[in-house]
């Protein structure tokens, strides 16, 4: 698993191990430390979980990984993900996010091929004409280099499976992953000021940030704030187990498949803030502020295809998820 020590990677590692798979975690630790990796070992009781500190842009290191382990499937998380930074430094994003993926596929081919799961994003839909978005909802041109790297990586995988029968691929398009493992031993660890809503909420609640700004309350939505599909991180992680199983068991109907990973339930920013206050019994300091450039008004998933083909669906309620996010932030505060 590339980028396996991060927020999504660590939750996926737990679910894969608990489903009986052997996992190798590889990460260059450019955007995280080993906190979550250590948490994964505690949760799973797997103190000998293999970790390789490496960069997937490094051809020799990737070669070394494939020579040292028998790899049946790769889940590719490694990549930069700050939308704003991708606008100010696009080449950093194109060289890293595209370079690492191309390199990984080349090395996988040289070792006889592989099943490849790519972590894509609902950002590829831009502002869809209507929600829920299905997998055949047309992609819109990306509004940031980060979003563009997701689209291009999808295309790289699509073209590679077409040309090379030894490569099979699944792209999972995540909606908005939030929350933490129920153990509170792993969760999101943003560096600096969080860009995303839920870490900003929890950091405000714990006193690390003074006030949450809700970006825009004049959108054409029921309460004026944006609508998103917030997907619990453990539910999202389980979708990876289903996708890996489908690939390894030879169940794929096409060599390249795409699935939306969301709940199908639109929730407004204000609703999310209010639920957070209610479920955790606290008052959050927030104010309405100007819209954030680049934000779409509304997007949520039609997850029917994942339900039918991956036998997966989101199970945890928003309330449980928000309680887990708060438990994780409190756990961090106790460190």
Residue nearest ligand UD1, CB atom distance: 226
Q: Which is nearer to ligand UD1, 193 or 282 (CB)?
A: 193
Q: Does 228 bind ligand UD1 (CB under 6 A)?
A: yes
Stretch that binds ligand UD1, among 42-50, 193-201, 254-262, 300-308 (CB under 6 A): 193-201
Q: How far is the CB of 104 from ligand UD1 (least distance, A)?
A: 20
Residue entry with tokens 């498949």: 257
Binding of residue 294 to ligand UD1 (CB under 6 A): yes
Residue closer to ligand UD1, measured from CB, 229 or 257: 229
Asked if 153 is part of the footprint of ligand UD1 (rule: CB under 6 A), the reply reads no
Exactly one of 7, 93, 125, 146 is catalytic; name it: 146
Binding mask 25-64 toward ligand UD1 (x if CB under 6 A, else -) reads ----------------------------------------
Question: Applying CB under 6 A, does 214 fall inside the site for ligand UD1?
Answer: yes
Would you count residue 176 as binding ligand UD1 (CB under 6 A)? yes
Residue 146 falls in the annotated catalytic set: yes
Q: Does 295 bind ligand UD1 (CB under 6 A)?
A: yes
Contact between 74 and ligand UD1 (CB under 6 A)? no
CB of 181 to ligand UD1, least distance (A): 17
Determine, following the binding rule CB under 6 A, whether residue 260 of this chain makes contact with ligand UD1: no
Nearest CB to ligand UD1, comparing residues 212 and 310: 212
Candidates 2-10, 126-134, 240-248, 291-299: pick the segment binding ligand UD1 (CB under 6 A).
Answer: 291-299
* 267 counts as binding ligand UD1 under rule CB under 6 A: no
Give a three-class secondary structure readout of the chain: CECCCCHHHHHHHHHHHHCCCCCCEEECCCCCCCHHHHHHHHHHCCCCCCEEECCCCCHHHHHHHHHHCCCCEEEECCCCCCHHHHHHCHHHHHHHHHHHHHHHHHHHHHCCCEEEEEEEEHHHHCCCCCCCECCCCCCCCCCCHHHHHHHHHHHHHHHHHHHCCCEEEEEEEECEEECCCCCCCCCCCCCCCCCCHHHHHHHHHHCCCCCEEEECCCCCCCCCCCEECEEEHHHHHHHHHHHHHHHHCCCCCCCEEEEEECCCCCEEHHHHHHHHHHHHCCCCCEEEECCCCCCCCECCECCHHHHHHHCCCCCCCHHHHHHHHHHHHHHHHCC
Q: Which residues carry out catalysis?
A: 146
């Amino acid at each position: 698993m590339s980028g396996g020590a991060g927020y999504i990677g660590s939750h996926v590692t737990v679910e894969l191990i608990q489903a009986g798979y052997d996992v190798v975690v590889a990460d260059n630790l450019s955007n995280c430390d080993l906190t979550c990796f250590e948490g994964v070992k505690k949760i799973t009781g797997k103190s000998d979980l293999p970790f390789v500190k490496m960069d997937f842009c490094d051809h020799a290191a990737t070669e070394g990984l494939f020579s040292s382990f028998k790899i049946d499937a790769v889940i590719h998380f490694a990549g930069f993900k700050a939308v704003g930074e991708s606008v100010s430094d696009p080449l950093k994003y194109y060289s890293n996010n595209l370079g690492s993926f191309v390199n990984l596929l080349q090395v996988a081919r040289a070792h006889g091929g592989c099943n490849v799961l790519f972590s894509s994003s609902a950002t590829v839909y831009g502002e869809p004409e209507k929600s829920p978005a299905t997998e055949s909802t047309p992609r819109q041109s990306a509004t940031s280099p980060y979003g563009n790297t997701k689209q291009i990586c999808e295309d790289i995988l699509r073209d590679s499976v077409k040309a090379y029968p030894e490569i099979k691929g699944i792209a999972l398009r995540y909606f908005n992953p939030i929350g933490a493992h129920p153990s509170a031993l792993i969760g999101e660890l943003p560096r600096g000021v969080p860009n995303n809503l839920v870490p900003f909420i929890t950091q405000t609640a714990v006193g690390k940030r003074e006030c949450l700004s809700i970006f825009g309350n004049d959108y054409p939505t029921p309460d004026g704030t944006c609508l998103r599909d917030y997907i619990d991180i453990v539910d999202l992680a389980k979708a990876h187990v289903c996708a890996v199983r489908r690939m390894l068991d030879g169940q794929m109907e096409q060599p390249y498949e795409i699935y939306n990973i969301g709940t199908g339930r639109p929730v407004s920013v204000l609703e999310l803030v209010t639920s957070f206050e209610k479920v955790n019994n606290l008052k959050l300091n927030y104010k309405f502020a100007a819209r954030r450039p680049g934000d779409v008004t509304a997007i949520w998933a039609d997850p029917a295809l994942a339900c039918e083909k991956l036998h997966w669906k989101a199970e945890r309620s928003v309330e449980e998820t928000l309680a887990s996010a708060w438990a994780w932030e409190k756990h961090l505060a106790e460190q």
